[in-house]
Chains A and B, each alone.
Chain A
Amino acid sequence: MSPSATSDDLSLEARVRAEIDRAILRNVKGLEYISAGDPPMGLTPRDPVYSRGTLVLYRYRPLASEVYRVPVLLVMSLVSRAYILDLAPGQSFIEFLLRQGYDVYMIDWGVPRPEDRHLRLEDYALDFIPDCAARVREDSGEPDLSMIGYCMGGMLAVLYAALHPSGPLKNLACFTTPVDFDGMTLFRRWTDARHFDVDRIVDSLGNVPPELMYASFEMLRPAARAASQIRLWDNMWNDDFVRSYRMFDRWAADQIPFPGECFRQTVKELMWENRLRKNELVLRGRRVDLGRITVPFLHVMAEHDHIVPYESAKDLVGMVGSADKRDLILKGGHVSLVAGPNASRRLWPQLDTWLSERSI
């Protein structure tokens, strides 16, 4: 573990000695780091309630002796792995919810297979999510449920809520959910209709390969990878830092394919035409009007979000028709907002305060 160098009168000599100790530890730990396998993640006990294709609806085993009446359904993004919300014991958003007394379900979309290339936004908002909501109601025995959506999962939850205003949704919380795609400056530039032939990409590749998704996210902060490697070396003596680094690094690199038709739709109808912001998105002949969302609504954004910038997320709360609605801007980035030590101090308690009084 780290050498202790905390006394106020630490001399320069002792400081240098501590740095030398750390340098030695870096080498020892560095060898361990290279030879170590992937850290285990997503360990909170859960049971599958329903599966369909790659979709699995899980119910997490309760950790409290009594739970709130209204179950919570987590809707994950299509472009990342679900275990970001269940990193490790003590750093798991799901574990936190369970300990606070929520009955937690989660939709894990799984890894899209080649035959899933036809899936579109309407399949998620009008078929899969309503199907899972019905399963949650049946399994829990409760007539309503709360939804929490992260990133694109938030967008899917919003689409669902707007298209099912009569229920059974009771509360909707979204984290870093984009609605105004004009605010995603870099993504818009890279998918400029004059140069980016999305039809050819989808028609040729089917699903968008995970390496392309990974590269596009990495390009948003091109220097971050090198800097994080330097920080890793600097903190190699610190087991906590290394453990946390490995978890986040594994999750970031563990990208999944993006269903082809959904990608085409996202680029054309959201990036190019910004239809969601204009309330002009039409799914299976039904217009998505966010003003039809009337359930209690919370939107939490991250101050330093480079993937879903504030400009692309800030209008959501204004577009929603709920009387009981609010948004929050918390310190952190796109991922650190929901996972890690900062999230456990900032976002999680805020969400609990908001949701608990609406879950009875």
Chain B
Amino acid sequence: MADQTSTSPDPLAAWREWVSQSERQWNAFLNEAMATEAYGQSVGRFMEMYVAMQKSMADAMGRYVTALNLPARSDVLALGDRLGAIENRLAGIEQRLAQLSGPAQPQASRAIQSSGPAQPQANRAIQSSGPAQPQASRAIQSSGPAPRAEEPAVDPLRPPRTKRPPGL
């Protein structure tokens, strides 16, 4: 855009201002026209025509693909509906299975139960096990030369939930 600090006039500044003003004025004028009942009626008529046209095209296309012994859109939609119903039932079964196996356990506690070298959740749980002292535990980690072996390895995908807002 034009440099505002320049002492010489921007030859296009007036034109740009005119574009912005014209846009505002046209928007205001057309919005006013579109807020009338007559315009609302015309929208309604347009939608009727649009729907009628879509319907007649769909009917014609349906007859055409039926003649070619191909599945019509309604057939594909029916298949989609059935698939959707299967998905929903599967989701329901999943939920019930989860309920049967007890309340959802936090990943942290599950990770504690697991063992092995990859324990990102356990690390997080260890760090967050003292929720009242996250700052303290951080301070311990950063201030003392604690043996590396005792420091839990931080998984970059599961960083500790110890952040505090500035000033708190």
Contacts and interface: CB of A to CB of B under 8 A. Distances in A.
Asked whether A and B interact, the reply is: yes
Contact of A196 (B35, B44, B168): B44
B139 interface: no
Given A141-B107, A230-B19, A192 B44 contact: yes
B163 interface: yes
B163 A101 contact: yes
Contact of A141 (B35, B40, B47, B108): B108
B8 interface: yes
A10 B3 contact: yes
A27 interface: no
Nearest to A139: B107
A224 B23 contact: yes
B161 A103 contact: yes
Contacts of B6: 5-8, 10, 15
A231 interface: yes
A102 B99 CA distance: 29
A207 to B, nearest CB: 11
A259 to B, nearest CB: 12
A360 B54 contact: no
B47 A196 contact: yes
A243 to B, nearest CB: 16
Interface string A41-67: 000000000001100000001101111
> Considering residues B45, B106, B138, B163, which has the most beta carbons from chain A within 10 angstroms of its beta carbon?
B163
Contacts of B5: 6, 8
B89 interface: no
A27 to B, nearest CB: 16
B154 to A, nearest CB: 7
B31 interface: yes
Interface of A: 5-12, 14-16, 19, 52-53, 61-62, 64-69, 101, 103, 113-116, 131, 134, 137-143, 185-186, 189-190, 192, 194-197, 200-201, 204-206, 212, 219-224, 226-227, 230-231, 234-235, 238, 356-357, 359-360
12 contacts: A8-B6, A10-B8, A15-B6, A115-B83, A115-B84, A141-B121, A186-B35, A192-B41, A196-B43, A197-B44, A212-B50, A230-B19
Interface of B: 1, 3, 5-12, 16, 19-20, 22-23, 26-27, 30-31, 34-37, 39-41, 43-45, 47-48, 50-51, 54-55, 73, 76-77, 80-81, 83-84, 87, 91, 95, 104-109, 121, 124-125, 128, 131, 138, 154, 156-166, 168
